[in-house]
Structure 1
Amino acid sequence: MIVVDNCSPDGSFEIIKKEFKNNCNVDVIQTNSNDGYSSGNNFGIKFAISKYDSEIVGIINPDVILSDKSNIDELAKILMSNEDYGIVGGRAVNYYGNDSLQLSAWDIPTNAGILINLSNILRNRQCLTHIQKVADNLVQVDCVAGCYFLAKTEAMKKVNFFDEGTFYIMKKIF
């Protein structure tokens, strides 16, 4: 496991490093600056590729709770079962127990969809329209949620990793 501290200003890095100092199965690393979600993930992914020559990388946010650790193994099996798969995500369930697929996936945003989502009245009302059932408990979608997913490192390399402007731009605007 690799824990990436995205240059937290609150001393988190030292606390996390101390917590895992005797665990050889955990690498705790820190970015030089907080340049957003994508940049922090790219930092960890590139570290995993460099140090471990990883075939698969996974992202799991610190607020995600897995109901069963075997979920990761199941996602890895699905990911590796088809050469066309580049990324797979788990189905998210929110704090209230809601597990709508829209918590876990969405369509590639259109300009109109972005405007709708930014409006206070219609916020998060976009419909998931690009969905195709592949098998029981497996659907193909445009995008998976960034809180919990696995990806083939070759697929990440092919698309030049995550666009590091994804959330950093929003941070600068707001």
Structure 2
Amino acid sequence: MNVALILNYKAATETVTCVESILQHCTSVDHIVLVDNDSQDGSVEAFNEWKQTTGQSKVTVLANPENNGYAGGNNYGIRWALNNLDITNFWIVNNDTYVDCDAFKPLQDALEKNDKQFVGSIILSAETGRLECYGGGKVYALLGKTKLLGKGLALENIQNLQDKPDYVMGCSLAFSKSLLDQVGLMDEEYFMYSEEVDWQYQAKKLGITSQVIPESRIYHHGSMSSGGRSAFYHYYRNRAAVRFNKRFYGSAFAFVSACLLSGIMAIQEFRKPNLVWSGIKGAFKGVTMSVK
């Protein structure tokens, strides 16, 4: 059974639109697990009412009793699915996306050839139709930064890309149950940002690769749950980047990257001292967080 996982936080209308597009176009998806991350805004009730009205039996609605972020919410859905369904493959999909064709089938085909890999889609901007990224991005660890690969390119120019992403974006990320047996679940201590990057870097140690499948394409509206480039965003994004560095490159590297990242923030956001301070706090919190 192929199961799509969709995480909601206070965006019920957009989430239903995403679910409906998958139900309409992705016939290779057998079931959808919809996890509400403790929105406390009537989202769960709205989903259940939608299910009752449509008579949709291919969707399970779960209410996570706490908002424990991207990793925690998706892990909650994965655990439920493993205990209640006969799983072959999972497909994590952002709730602020939609598809206009069977975007999962090419991912499924790739996993049938090699189930020891993460695979992802080309991400297109819902507003412009141009690339948001060629599946993922490049990691510039010391600077605490990532850069989406191919951002802004027209779809017909994909063949001009000479590079491959260091990670596949969690916006559309598929993997087999057998991979989970080997790698385990995502690290929930990140709360937001870098979870899927960490997961794939951990998997690399076990010889597991990540690959973009260009035949799979998904449209992305942009962040609906992180508050945009707010103080919240800068705190958690910087905290995650530096904690990632601490795990994979050591404490000294993480401290240097926190200093560099704080300096970059001070230059870029000097007119918004509250954002700078939030980013600095997040960066140095990442230095102090524990990693295994």
Shorter-chain TM-score range? 0.7 to 0.9
Query: How far 1:28 sits from its partner (Å)?
Result: 0.5
TM-score, normalising length: structure 1: 0.75
Give aligned pairs, total: 152
- The CA distance in 2 between the partners of 1:52 and 1:127, in whole Å, is 34
The one of 154, 162, 165 aligned to 2:186: 162
Structure 2: tracts of 5 or more residues without a match: 1-31, 150-158, 193-234, 240-280, 283-292
What's 1:121 paired with? none
* CA deviation after TM superposition for structure 1 residue 67, in Å: 2.3
Q: Which residue of 2 aligns with 1:64?
A: 97
> Does the 8 Å contact 2:121/2:172 carry over to 1?
yes
Whether the 8 Å contact between 1:64 and 1:148 is mirrored in structure 2 is no
Shift of 1:127: 7.1
1:88 is aligned, of 119, 139, 153, to: 119
1:77 aligns with 2:109: yes
Pair 10,145 (structure 1): closer, same or farther in 2 beyond 3 Å: same
1:97 corresponds in structure 2 to: 129
CA deviation after TM superposition for structure 1 residue 109, in Å: 5.3
CA RMSD of aligned residues (A): 2.6
Distance 1:155 1:5 in 2: 25
Which of 22, 30, 50 is residue 83 of structure 2 equivalent to? 50
Structure with bigger helix share is 2
Match of 2:62 in 1: 29
Q: Quote the Cα distance in structure 2 between the aligned partners of 1:127 and 1:39.
A: 24
Residue 113 (structure 1) aligns with: 143
2:131 corresponds to which letter in structure 1? D
User: Do the aligned residues in 1 keep the contact of 2:138 with 2:167 (CA within 8 Å)?
Assistant: yes
Residues 1:100 and 1:26: Cα distance change in structure 2 (over 3 Å) = closer
Q: How far did residue 84 of structure 1 move?
A: 3.5
Seq. identity, %: 25
Counterpart in the other structure of 2:34:
3
What does residue 132 of structure 1 align with? none
The alpha-carbon deviation at position 62 of structure 1 amounts to: 1.6
Cα distance change of structure 1 residues 51 and 140 upon mapping to structure 2, 3 Å threshold: farther
Displacement of 1:53 in angstroms is: 2.4
Offset at 1:12? Answer: 0.5
**Gaps spanning 5+ residues in structure 1: where?**
118-123, 129-135
Q: Any idea what the Cα deviations from partners look like across 1:81-135, whole Å, max 9, x if unmatched?
A: 12442x1111001122221535x2124552x131xx3xxxxxx6x475xxxxxxx
Q: 1:39 aligns with which of 72, 77, 81?
A: 72
Q: Structure 1 residue 146: deviation in Å?
A: 0.8
Distance 1:17 1:42 in 2: 21
In the alignment, what sits opposite 1:150?
174
Seen in structure 2, the aligned counterparts of structure 1 residues 113 and 67 have a Cα distance that, compared at 3 Å, is: farther
Give the alignment of 1:128-147 within 5 angstroms.
141-147=165-171
Tell me the SS of whatever aligns to 1:74.
Answer: helix
One-letter code aligned to 1:44: G
Provide the rounded CA distance (Å) in 2 between the counterparts of 1:127 and 1:58: 21
Please list the CA deviations of residues 47-72 of structure 1 after superposition, one character each: whole Å capped at 9, or x if unmatched: 1221112110111112111121x221
How far off its partner does 1:38 sit?
0.5
